[in-house]
Structure 1
């Protein structure tokens, strides 16, 4: 048993993963944890001993080299060896190897947030140098809004996820697809029967896995008094410290009601007067930096098709006020054939990203509501949801 002091950004999932133990093992060792929503910096936890794997230092070893060799995050290796000075390793020294995720970079078995995404993007870029990773802009709180490019063909397609904070499972959906796509391409292999080398040469895909990083962090980590929006967020959340129902960005604006596509109509329909967990359209279209970033990125790239991944409902929204091209319904039906999701001709909805794209570009744009249940969907649902959604992600490279 060891003592651990909770740091900023920690969650029980992250701590358990770092030390190679289960969340239940931590809970059993810390009966004082009666509120399971969040832990707070400075809180002292007892971490039970894990089933340990050891490694004996060889000549020329470094912690970084060991982390790469065994596919272990460097931070996890350092945390598992708090009494080892990485700058003074010696031959024969024994260190602990925390559990790794095997041959996969993207871990889809535990909570997945901004921190995990950035670490995985760096690891994917190192493993697959043909990926391009760029920052498109900043969130309200200064986090980079990252995009990943794969493929170099003339057709241009864009996927995004986590517009809504408590729909964060869409981020690992997209990150896992990028990894699987890159792995198939680099090995001249196929993904779900599709020749990914062919689609790499035909289509340029840009993926923004997390549009709303501040909101995702709020849902997963909660707030302390040190948070710059502490008082406002508590007020907007009706005094509750449980932010699992939060969809908005950190200023209480629903980012998918921010686009200049009959924004005033959506404002009046929502009839929400100010910041909150959901449905406030903001003071004006594109008032929020996250929405502006995606709008500018879309305009600058002139995409042939876009798909915004949300949860939940197992539905595909493909139209907007009869402005969509005729092929949109055909594509939606094709997506149904590979996913089982139902195409829906949506009415009574405006100001969404898909709506604006169809209105301004008159090209196919889609909202995919992945999975089924109550948001945030549990990560244990990931295998089933990915099995459904990956067909849409692959077909999206082909249908334009």
Structure 2
């Protein structure tokens, strides 16, 4: 076995390193049992790797590079780029080559985990590739991270979708970004997305996406408080001295951002019964104390959204009502979204202070909380492709407005 050593950098995680070196996370952990038992990696640690594992293929006599690419559903150029040491050699017969994932040309993909740095990288790539995508920022997080938005479309009907309000629900960010890329790619190629006409979406609607409302929390879940995290001592105290943060939903100040909106906030705070910061369910000392919630509320007030969707996980459910304040079309629309996605439309009671609650209350237009996937958060990345289809069909139906 051809073992090599790498040095862990700040922000590295076992899933990210494994993906970067075409290894399974299980193999990487087996090669490094002493660090696999840690909750998070420490910058400067050295790990054993076996690069180039993953899908391998021994090229038989008579098979060309183009034929290999076709067999695995790849473009020949993608296959050559995945094997840089022999990319310019004509005959690959007898060589053991690496077969990349078939989505090699796509921008949005999960390489171990999907966090803030992956989001910023992909936004830059999408903006560079598609001139009709506009990007910007709605504000900043507690720790000063920009809260980016993307806009696609030129129509008079405005739809807003946000994701990763809760830290350990970061898979929703990748799902939303994947839909934006597929929409942009289809429109740029003048073709439909499934049976939906993207040119009609572009002309009739404007989609505003805020893919990661809680970037500090997402980073905490994925990377922990090692490597000189500025809030390490306080966060460990709020986390009952547990060093693992995968269950964390709140922002970096221990406030649950989906309990922060001025829609019967006091009743929700009393119902939760949380009087101090922690991993989840603490509503803060008042509505909109947190910069992430403030930014989202102010940005919402600055636009005239015809409908909003907040992506959460998990449960495969669509919550569409709020204290009977929702407009008449919300119920029928939720059932259409449910039919398109395979999710269940649910009339929810006993819940306040969420983003869609506040939107329905203050603007009187349809608002939806969509709980994607099934299981325990963070959802396994193996669900990503299925959730992308489910949420994609839901958003497509919403953008099409029944047409």
What is the distance in 2 between the residues matched to 1:114 and 1:303? 26
1:27-67 deviation line (CA, Å, top 9, x unaligned)? 232232341532111211122232699xxxxxxxxxxxxxx
1:218-244 deviation line (CA, Å, top 9, x unaligned)? 111111261111111111111101111
Stretches of 4+ moved more than 3 A in 1? 69-72, 96-101
Whether 1:21 aligns to 2:23 is: yes
8 Å Cα contact 2:309/2:356 also seen in 1: yes
Whether 1:271 aligns to 2:259 is: no
Aligned to 1:149: 151
8 Å Cα contact 1:308/1:354 also seen in 2: yes
Structure 1 counterpart of 2:380, from 378, 381, 388: 378
1:244-299 deviation line (CA, Å, top 9, x unaligned)? 11000000000000001111111111110010000000111110000011101111
1:339-366 deviation line (CA, Å, top 9, x unaligned)? 1211111111110000000011000001
8 Å Cα contact 1:21/1:50 also seen in 2: yes
8 Å Cα contact 2:238/2:254 also seen in 1: yes
1:14-36 deviation line (CA, Å, top 9, x unaligned)? 22232333323322322323415
Aligned to 1:333: 335
Structure 2 counterpart of 1:165, from 167, 181, 194: 167
Aligned to 1:391: 393
Aligned to 2:114: 112
8 Å Cα contact 1:20/1:98 also seen in 2: no
3-state DSSP of counterpart to 1:397: helix
Aligned to 1:287: 289
What is the distance in 1 between the residues matched to 2:10 and 2:99? 21
8 Å Cα contact 1:254/1:278 also seen in 2: yes
Aligned to 2:219: 217
Offset of residue 71 of structure 1 = 7.5
Give the 5 Å matches for 1:291-330: 291-330=293-332
3-state DSSP of counterpart to 1:7: coil
1:84-134 deviation line (CA, Å, top 9, x unaligned)? xxxxxxxxxxxx999575121111463111111111111111111211111
Give the 5 Å matches for 1:76-87: none
Offset of residue 143 of structure 1 = 0.8
8 Å Cα contact 1:18/1:98 also seen in 2: no
3-state DSSP of counterpart to 1:32: helix
CA 1:70 to 1:22, structure 2 compared with 1: closer, same or farther past 3 Å?
farther
Aligned to 2:125: 123
What is the distance in 1 between the residues matched to 2:252 and 2:77? 37
What is the distance in 2 between the residues matched to 1:48 and 1:24? 12
Whether 1:32 aligns to 2:61 is: no
Q: Which runs of 5+ in 2 are unaligned?
A: 58-75, 86-96
Across the two proteins, how many residue pairs are aligned to each other?
367
Offset of residue 168 of structure 1 = 0.7
What is the distance in 2 between the residues matched to 1:34 and 1:390? 35
What is the TM-score of this pair, normalised by structure 2?
0.86
What is the distance in 1 between the residues matched to 2:111 and 2:395? 21
CA 1:98 to 1:39, structure 2 compared with 1: closer, same or farther past 3 Å?
farther
8 Å Cα contact 1:148/1:206 also seen in 2: yes
CA 1:43 to 1:390, structure 2 compared with 1: closer, same or farther past 3 Å?
same
What is the TM-score of this pair, normalised by structure 1?
0.87
Structure 2 counterpart of 1:228, from 230, 251, 254: 230
8 Å Cα contact 1:109/1:379 also seen in 2: no
Aligned to 1:359: 361
8 Å Cα contact 2:78/2:105 also seen in 1: yes
What is the distance in 2 between the residues matched to 1:71 and 1:10? 26
3-state DSSP of counterpart to 1:207: strand
Q: Which runs of 5+ in 1 are unaligned?
A: 54-68, 82-95
Aligned to 1:7: 9
